[in-house]
Each structure stands twice: as structure tokens, then as C-alpha cells.
Structure 1
């Protein structure tokens, strides 16, 4: 055959395939509320508690995947464990990106970043968590009304030690103050659609002084987190104490790990870990107090278990964890009942995909509705009630058939890298508080049990009384050694 004939023969199958694909009807988009011209579903999204509306849409359209169009931007909401497992877990290669042009994508930790925050590695920091908890108990003994501030100090102390190897001041530490300001700016900015740059990425090029450039000024505030630069200097001198940052910086010279240990990856992963662990811990502990106010029977049952295992001569330790299944179930229920991050940070789908016969366009923002999953009555019956026993068998031991509420920390390869540390610090704090204090409603104020509506959902300010269970318990708290050099 001549060369032109060979070329034609080779092109025929390609042309046939192209024609066939043109004739083949496109798969439908997932169901969702009707779209208006140009604005799409812009006015269908409520200003607050969007996760509740998204869960309602899943029921209305009998679908665990919902499609929205917001000013031309495709948004996909995932509303079941099946959907998040299928896409965020099994197809993580194309569902783990974050849009670098959007403010929410500024935490540039790679989705597969190897961190020392894995379960086994995080256990070496348990002495620091226990020490910080003992300091918290003494603070509550002196000034129980300031429990929120004490929680913030304890969480910041643990996070700074674990992430950066920094020993913070007993109060008003500048690192914690700066980090908390950055955390609040970061949490506000991650609300989908809050800033126009989410919809019009070209706005990232406008100068910081330009009207409407507030997102750029907030991003600059986040970048002021100086703890990382402090660790870099000390790591280079070989004097940095053990921490995620120091370990990762030391590993950056390993030629076998060039992708995971680039300095900007370490910086942003460390920042993400602080955001996730510190704010999660504080909000979860405040939720724990509200749960005890609303469920005194659960508090009494947990205290009875602690008394039977630990006694009154010592404080609980991590060695007691396997012997306190009800306390562990109570912590899981705290994380599930009022989860801190109701909507996961949006992902960017890199290529067009198909799921359940629906087309998912490339470039779509994919959001996992963690609140919807953790309040799915088919997985957690009576989901709005606080029931630690839902995680236990009739004999009081853990029920492996009940799904762990770990989606409270995100999904797949983008799951919070500090989740094990956050969970263990919450556990030791809850166990220690229940061992030594009674938590009751304030005489002059009934809690509202209301929460903020943001990427980090927190209880609105409330009052409660936190008093020692006995004079012996108060003496035990006073006697515990809180010398940080022994941690």
C-alpha cells in the first residue's frame, strides 16, 4: 500500500470513534435544584448551615450526589459514605486536588504528604498531651468560668509542641495569639463562595489595596505565622527539639523523598495541622461540656466507669484507654453529634468522570457533606440524639460494625494529618475532666446549644458550672506534677 493509503487506513478508526462519540448522547448531570439563567443556583444556597440544606436535597432528589451551578461553576455535593468512599478513596488520584487559584487552596500540602502524625508516631507525643491536660485541670480549679480560654491554651500548647516543638508561655503566648487570628481568618475564608475570587479566579491578580481584595489581605495574615521560620532556623543549627516540622526538615535532605519534603510543603502541612488540631480540639471540648449538660446520665455512667478502673488515687492515663470503652464511645459521639467541620474543604476534579450514570464535569468543586454522613439515620439511628452506646455492643465492648466518625476530620488523602493527635488529646482531656470534676448547668443561664455557621462550627458562648467532684479530687489535681521538662 502507498503511504497516503496507509495514513488513511490509520485515520479511519480515529474518525469513526470521533463520529461515534459525537452521536453518543452525553450522560446527564446529577440531580439538583432547578437552575436560573446565568446565576444558576446562586440564590438556592442559604447563607448559613448549608450542610443541612444539602442533606435535605439528597433526600428530596433521592440521590447521594447533587449538582449545583453557581455562576457557571459546577459544584458537586456528596451525601453518603458510598459516594465519598467511591470518589475520595477509590478514585483519590483525580479527586484530591485543590484549586490553587482559590483562597481555600492556599494550604499547599501535597495530598500524599507523609507526616509523623500517623497513629504510631503520634503516640510519642502522648506525654505532652497528658501534661497539658494536667495544667488544664489546675486552671479549671482556679478559674472554672474561663473554661473556653483554658481549652484554647491547652490545645495551642499541644499543637505548638507537636507541630513546631515550641514550649509556649502559660498565658497570652504570642505564637498562640497569632495562630488563633490566622485560624479564624482561614476558617472564614474557606466558606464556599464567600469571596468573589472563588468564582472569578482572575481577581487573584488585583493588588491588595484594591476594593474587594480583602481575601488577599487575609491570606497575607495567614502567612505571618512565624513559628515555621523559627523552626527552620533551629533545625538548620541542629538544635530544634523533636516535632513534625523538625523531623520533616531533617528529612528534606533525603534524595528519595524530593516531593514530600519540599520546604513549602512542610510549612503548609504544619499550618494545616495546627488549624485542624487546635480548633477541632477546642470546639470538640466545648461540645463535650454541652453534651454533659444535656445528658447527665451519660456523664454519670462515664464517671462510674472511670472510678471502677482508675479509682480515686490517680488520674486517668493512656494506658487506661482500652479499659474505658464507654469513655471512648462518648468521645466518638462528641465528634459525631456536633462535628466541627460540617462541610469538607472543596476538592478540584481534574478530569471529567462518571458516577452512578451521571457525568461529573472536569473542573467541578467536589464537597463532602460530613454533617450529612454523620447524621444519616441509616448509619446512625436517631442521629440527633447524643448516644455513646451506639458505638458499643450489649456487653459494653466496642461494636466494630458501627462506622467510626473519622470523616469528622475529612476524607481520603486530604484527611486531616493531625487527626490522631487531636483525637488522643480530646480523649485524655475528657477522661481527666470526668474523673475530677462535675459539669452542671449554671444556675442563672440555660445553654442555647446553638452553633456558628462556618467551616469550623463552634458552640456559641455559654455558661456552666465546673466543680471538683470531692475535696479528694481537688487535692489530686493540686498534687499532680506539671513540670514540662519531664514530658
Structure 2
């Protein structure tokens, strides 16, 4: 017997079809909303203020430390348990600042994805008002930047100048050892314009970088102090237009100051380096691995702070949205950050050059070179090789001629210096400190005196 079927009339099928289509549409909408919601989550940040956002969280000084504290103190487990504290977002008057506080985050974004993170922010204050648009470190990523970067291949042509500058440094230390910071500035060709650049390079330091249209306001407007600052700076900027690798020069000065402090407070390191120098007839790098390791450790121990990157297109990291147009900062320094990461550099607070020495067979391999001290990805400082050469020559010559120790006053009291970064802007530099820099022995003193005779 055939089964009976009772087809529904068209009027009865319509509600079922409508419900089915509605259910499918609802599922698609929910999936889309879920996907978009996931993509629209910004990295966490501190509590923001209406309109101003995180304006008052942007540090004007000790930025490397403050950014690390912000990353560390965010209540990440309450937000998304699987996400660590290596990234935060700050909203400053509509500009997003992304801070990366781990080697993992920096390597993934600024290194592996460098094709979209290699631009520089517009920086109206520095480039348009202060006149630094010629500087390769501040140029937008593009053909002009590539053309200028090719000049970095000519760094070997500076070797004679580096050697002569180091020779003059020895003489200056011989005559006025207490003015060693001034001598370092002179050696690096440091000029007044860099002081202004250092102050203006901090993201958010000047309101005009966040609201570029402000550059058109009259000079006498009450809050147009940045225009007076820019005018003073521009008077000095022409001094460095023809000078290569200003970023490298800043690094040289900071590293030399850190070197003196390290030698003064780690006499065992100084003695080992001097013993290596005394054992060779000529300052050849292959014969002086400890001097090379010493240069690397100084750069790891107290690096300067690199410039911000600019994100060209929207990106995503660990489920977080990184908006196009964001300023991206890689925090290379401080506890838990890259150059003080215990996983990369065991006992990071200890000054230990031997961590970079070639390993003996079966021994612990050396730590990776602290390249991030010069920046990240395609925007790494093109003058880094000049800086490394200059530091190597200076360290070797200073230690071969001088002993560096703590300062002792006339009453025999030893000056015990602390080491704190200057409360300023971009460059990590020690506050002024006293030390004793004296010829190692009579032979060194006679040699220095002979240099003085040759110069006169």
C-alpha cells in the first residue's frame, strides 16, 4: 500500500522558509559580529579620560621605565587570561601609541613584519618646524630613505677619523680627566642641535605632533611654546645637515659614559680587559675578544631608547587590533624587557662581558648580540657599524693608557656614585658623576706626553 503524502500548500511553507532563512542569517550575523568584535579589541591600557584619553600617562622622562610599569601593572588576567603583559595601547588625543615590552612582541612585529612597521611618524615638530627632514633616521620609509641608506656602505671610510678622534680623546683625558663627558661629546661630534632633537623625539612631548594643524597658529599664542623651541633649535640644525649618522653619535656618547661608570665600579672587568690588551702587540680585534665582548655588554647594560615606528596598515597581534597610523614603541630596556630579559641574558642586572665570549667546546653558547640597542627591523640605525668601531677603538685605547677608579677627595673620602638615567627624553645617559682617570704607569704617562708634543 502506497504511503500517503500531504504536500503543504505554498501559503503554509512560507513561514518555515522564512524561519530557516532567518536562522541562517542570524548565525551569519553572529559569526560576523564575533569575528569583528575579536578584531576590534585594542590592546589593554590604563584607565582613560574622556576626550584626553591617556594623555597624562605618556611619560616625558624615564619613558623606558614608565612604559614597562604600565605593561606590568595592567590587570591582564581580568581581561583576557591567555594574553601576557607584553603589549599595551594608549589613546592620546586620537593617536594610538602601541608599546611592545618583550622580545617576542618586538621580533614578531618590528622584525618579521617590518615591511609594514618601517615607516616613521610625521613628527611635525622635528621635521617641519625644527628642520630635521634631511635626517635618514627620521625620513619616511620609501625610495628617498633607501637611497640615503645605501650610503651606510661607506662606513669604512671613517676609520682614519675614528682613530684620530680617539687619539685626541686620550690627550684631552690626560689634560682634563674630570671633563670626560665633554671630551666624549667632542669625540662624537655632538652639537647643540642634538640636545633639542633628543627632547623633541619623545612621542607626545609636543602637542603639535598629536594635532599637526597647530603648527599654523601664531607664534604669540599662549600655548605655542613649541614654536619658540623649534625656532631656537632650527638655528643649530644646519650644523648637522652634512654630518652622517647622528643617531650613532648619540649612542657613542651614552655608551662611553656607561663604559667609564662600569669600569669604575667593576675593577675586575677592567683588569681583565687590560691584561688582554697587555698580551698583544697590536690592537687587533681577533686577538682581543674580551674588548669586543665589553663593547656589547655596555650596549646591553645601558642602551639609548630607539625612535618610534609608524604602522602603515591595520594589523593584528594575539587577537588584538593594531590600528593603521599607530605609533609603535619597542621597549628595549628595563627589567623584563628585551635587553634585561632573563631568558636571553641570564643575570641581566649583572655587568658581565663574558656572556658574549665565544664558547669553548661543550660550554654555554654566547648570548645573542644586543643589536636592538640600535633599533629594530629595517629602521635599525645605519650608523651602528661606525658606532661599534668607534667604541671598540676608544675602549681599547683608554684601557691601554688609563686606570679608571672611584673619585677620592683630599680628605681620603671615596665618592660612591649611584647610576640613574638622566630625567630627560630620548637618550639614556648617566647623571653627572665624579671618577678618577689616571695614566696606568710611567710608561703610559710618557707616551701621552709624547702625543702632546707631537700635537703642539
Shorter-chain TM range is 0.7 to 0.9
Alignment of 1:451-470 (within 5 A): 451-453=421-423, 454-470=425-441
Do the aligned partners of 2:110 and 2:376 also contact (CA within 8 Å) in 1?
yes
State whether structure 2 residue 56 is matched by structure 1 residue 56: no
Q: What residue is the counterpart of 1:98 in the other structure?
A: 120
State whether structure 2 residue 52 is matched by structure 1 residue 39: yes
1:391 to 356, 371, 374: 356
Change (3 A) 1:321 1:398: farther
Do the aligned partners of 2:313 and 2:324 also contact (CA within 8 Å) in 1?
yes
**1:388-425 deviations in whole A, cap 9, x for unaligned?**
11112454999865221121111122222211111110
Unmatched runs of 5 consecutive residues or more in structure 1: 1-16, 157-175, 229-266, 311-315
Alignment of 1:167-186 (within 5 A): 180-186=191-197
Do the aligned partners of 1:32 and 1:68 also contact (CA within 8 Å) in 2?
yes
State whether structure 2 residue 448 is matched by structure 1 residue 477: yes
Q: What residue is the counterpart of 1:80 in the other structure?
A: 102
State whether structure 2 residue 296 is matched by structure 1 residue 332: yes
Q: What residue is the counterpart of 2:36 in the other structure?
A: 25
Instruction: Please tell me whether Structure 1 or Structure 2 has the larger radius of gyration of its CA atoms.
Output: 2
2:266 to 295, 306, 314: 295
Q: What residue is the counterpart of 1:109 in the other structure?
A: 139
TM-score (norm 2): 0.79
Do the aligned partners of 2:177 and 2:437 also contact (CA within 8 Å) in 1?
yes
Q: What residue is the counterpart of 1:14 in the other structure?
A: none
State whether structure 2 residue 420 is matched by structure 1 residue 450: yes
Distance in 2 between the 1:215 and 1:482 partners?
Answer: 48
Do the aligned partners of 1:326 and 1:396 also contact (CA within 8 Å) in 2?
no
Alignment of 1:66-465 (within 5 A): 66-104=88-126, 106-107=132-133, 108-111=138-141, 112-113=145-146, 114-115=148-149, 118=152, 121-156=154-189, 180-224=191-235, 225-227=237-239, 267=241, 273-310=244-281, 317=283, 320-341=284-305, 344-371=306-333, 372-395=337-360, 402-444=367-409, 445-453=415-423, 454-465=425-436
Instruction: Give, in angstroms, the shift of residue 136 of structure 1.
Output: 1.0
Which stretch shows the higher mean deviation, 371-380 or 389-398?
Answer: 389-398
Change (3 A) 1:379 1:213: same
Q: What residue is the counterpart of 1:263 in the other structure?
A: none
Change (3 A) 1:483 1:192: farther
Distance in 1 between the 2:399 and 2:430 partners?
Answer: 20
SS at match of 1:467: strand
Instruction: Give, in angstroms, the shift of residue 227 of structure 1.
Output: 4.3
SS at match of 1:449: coil
SS at match of 2:47: coil
Change (3 A) 1:36 1:223: closer
Do the aligned partners of 2:358 and 2:366 also contact (CA within 8 Å) in 1?
no
Do the aligned partners of 1:391 and 1:399 also contact (CA within 8 Å) in 2?
no
Instruction: Give, in angstroms, the shift of residue 364 of structure 1.
Output: 1.3
Instruction: Give, in angstroms, the shift of residue 303 of structure 1.
Output: 0.5
Distance in 2 between the 1:92 and 1:217 partners?
Answer: 36
Distance in 2 between the 1:325 and 1:221 partners?
Answer: 45
Instruction: Give, in angstroms, the shift of residue 380 of structure 1.
Output: 1.3
Do the aligned partners of 1:67 and 1:74 also contact (CA within 8 Å) in 2?
yes
Which stretch shows the higher mean deviation, 400-409 or 372-381?
Answer: 400-409
Distance in 2 between the 1:284 and 1:482 partners?
Answer: 30
Change (3 A) 1:406 1:101: closer
Instruction: Give, in angstroms, the shift of residue 110 of structure 1.
Output: 4.3
TM-score (norm 1): 0.74
Distance in 1 between the 2:296 and 2:375 partners?
Answer: 15
**1:261-286 deviations in whole A, cap 9, x for unaligned?**
xxxxxx5xx56x44313222122111
Distance in 2 between the 1:25 and 1:359 partners?
Answer: 10
SS at match of 1:66: strand
Instruction: Give, in angstroms, the shift of residue 297 of structure 1.
Output: 0.5
Distance in 2 between the 1:306 and 1:452 partners?
Answer: 32
- Aligned residue-pair number: 396
